[in-house]
Structure 1
């Protein structure tokens, strides 16, 4: 069984990736044209999912005697790949926003995969929580990818 500090470090890294998802989707919502109601709704739901996930992770960190992270810019082994997303949000058109969101979802999947790999000796309930969250984020990833592909088809 892993030490609580090791577990809380992994969970805090996942909190950071979710804080970055929340921030990224809020930016995406603001960058989209007001006519993009469906995408704004989707992005809002994805952001809300991350708020819920962040809460679940924070509860576990507290239960293990740790302090949940609220930061998004400190280096962390798992969430580091998300940082590149910020640079891709320079464009404000729908296509580039969707591509940036998909890139961020790819980074989140990688972070969760790393967390699953690190969690082999974690308690079963924590492993299950991480796996369930990864699956939820995978559904978001697939929705974003579908929207991106549809947007590309319409733009061609």
Structure 2
């Protein structure tokens, strides 16, 4: 994969992490359970860190990524957060629906991670992607356990 192609795809993955960061922050605002709120704040922090790590490792920005570059996110992510707002507003079981949406978002992110690793990346970047991918898989498992508890 040439540098220009992987930079574009890495920027997409960075945006996905920003979307996850913002989505988890939104989810933390919406849930009733203080323990779940804490879980979502931790996940938000982790995903923001993922974005910075990828930007630094991939060197896809001229300098270190600025807060604005990292915090912009994507149009699709903004739509997903709006959908979370709508579902939460009409759902009688907010926490469970919000956890379901977080799982859906994480599975979508995982698809994007798996796709980019199939293209061949510089070694250091590929290692970082695989490390983050494992963490996302763990997060999905944790969220699925939480979801089962909420049923």
Alignment check: 8 A CA contact 1:8 1:66 kept: no
Alignment check: 8 A CA contact 2:54 2:125 kept: no
Residue 107 of structure 1 corresponds to: 108
- Partners of 1:19 and 1:37 in 2: CA distance: 23
Q: Going by fraction, where is helix more abundant, 1 or 2? A: 2
Residue 124 of structure 1 corresponds to: 123
2:116 is the counterpart of 1:91: no
- What is the CA-CA distance between 1:51 and the residue it aligns to? 1.4
SS at match of 1:91: helix
Residue 52 of structure 2 corresponds to: 55
- In the alignment, structure 2 segments of 5+ residues that lack a partner are 89-93
- Partners of 1:105 and 1:116 in 2: CA distance: 17
TM-score, normalisation: structure 2: 0.82
Residue 35 of structure 2 corresponds to: 38
Aligned structure 1 segments of 4 or more residues deviating by more than 6 angstroms? none
1:108-154: CA deviations, max 9, x gaps? 11111111122x2x2111111111111011111111111011101xx
Aligned residues: 141
- Partners of 1:128 and 1:64 in 2: CA distance: 19
SS at match of 1:90: helix
Residue 24 of structure 2 corresponds to: 25
Taking only aligned residues, the RMSD between alpha carbons, in angstroms, comes to 2.2
Residue 77 of structure 1 corresponds to: none
TM-score, normalisation: structure 1: 0.80
- Partners of 1:63 and 1:109 in 2: CA distance: 21
- In the alignment, structure 1 segments of 5+ residues that lack a partner are 75-79
